[in-house]
Amino acid sequence: MVPLSITQERRKRILIVEDNIALRFTLAEWLRSLKYTVFEATSADEAIVLLESPLEVDLVVTDVQMPGKKDGIELLRYIQNSLPAVKVIVVSGDVHEVLKGEKVPFLKKPYDLEEMASNIAKLLTGSN
Amino acid sequence: MNDPSPQHQDTILVVEDEILVRTSIAQYLRDCGYRVIEAGNADDAMVMLNKADVHIDILFTDIEMPGSMDGFALCQWVRRNMPDMQILLTGSNHKAAHAAANLCEEGPQLKKPYAPEQLLDQIRRLRATKR
């Protein structure tokens, strides 16, 4: 594979925010096999650094409980306030009351990769 | 760039705590046809190294990192337990890089900041010694 040329269509860009390296790698590889460009962050703090860089992320998949100054809910609030065009999917082993009533898709761990892919495709359809 | 594609998809474990450095180098290597596993510290790297279903050809690690292990300790562990794995080191501390040369008989190391092309060149040279 050669570096992306400007003549190729821009692939959708997904940022996975997950501190568990095995889970992150499995999801990242799955999404790369579906032809997405995938970036990885090990914490919400790292995710914000990437979101403030020129990477132009289209969608963020974030865990809730992670080490660092911010958790996934705070990352979600940051994106809603500062980057409203960026779509978000929240994943967690626990159900979070704070997310009830929100339009943000939530997948409980362990989630099915096909279900994740279908949620991502739905959110990215029609967004440019 | 002349034929940047590896012969088959080699897997590189990139261990780097600086997120912007890790992301840009990992993406560059993927664009060049490598499969890349990203770890933010040596402890996470150990998780992937110990996974029986994941084959890693090259460990590319920063020397100075937070966590219970630094890049040296990680390389020492790999040398003892996975002698066939190839290792590339990077770091900004000259003294550390010198000591790293003594640790790894293959010796390649990149002083930070390095250009992605320099890393690609080192990887190709390293893989050529295996073929």
pLDDT digits (tens, 9 = 90+) for B69-114: 999 899 999 999 999 999 998 988 766 666 666 665 455 678 888 9
For testing contact with chain B, the best of A14, A17, A38, A40 (most B CBs within 10 A): A40
Q: Closest residue of B to A24, CA-based?
A: B38
pTM metric for this prediction? 0.90
Handedness of CA B121, B31, B77, B131 (dihedral sign): negative
Q: How far apart are CA A74 and CA A80, in angstroms?
A: 10
A21–B20 C-beta distance less than 8 A: no
Cis peptide leading into residue A110 (ω within 30°): yes
Q: How far apart are CA B63 and CA B48, in angstroms?
A: 18
Kindly report the backbone phi and psi dihedral angles of residue B14, in degrees, each rounded to the nearest multiple of 5, phi listed first: -100, 120
A39–B27 C-beta distance less than 8 A: yes
Would an 8 Å CB–CB cutoff place B67 in contact with chain A? no
Would an 8 Å CB–CB cutoff place B19 in contact with chain A? yes
Written as tens digits, the pLDDT of chain A (128 aa) is 445 555 567 899 999 999 999 999 999 999 999 999 999 999 999 999 999 999 999 999 999 999 999 999 999 999 999 999 999 999 999 988 888 888 899 999 999 999 999 999 999 995 54
Q: How many CB pairs under 8 A join A and B?
A: 50
A55–B19 C-beta distance less than 8 A: no
Q: Using CB atoms, which residue from A25, A37, A53 is nearest to B48?
A: A25
- Shortest alpha-carbon distance between residue B92 and chain A (Å): 21
Under an 8 Å CB criterion, which residues of A touch B? Answer: 1-4, 21-22, 24-25, 29, 32, 37, 39-42, 46, 49-50, 53, 55
Q: Closest residue of A to B41, CA-based?
A: A42
Would an 8 Å CB–CB cutoff place B30 in contact with chain A? yes
Which residues fall within 8 angstroms of residue B33, CB to CB, at 6 or more apart?
A1, B4, B5, B6, B9
Tokens coding B30: 């993927």
CA dist B21 → A14, A113, A124, B107 (Å): 18, 28, 27, 22
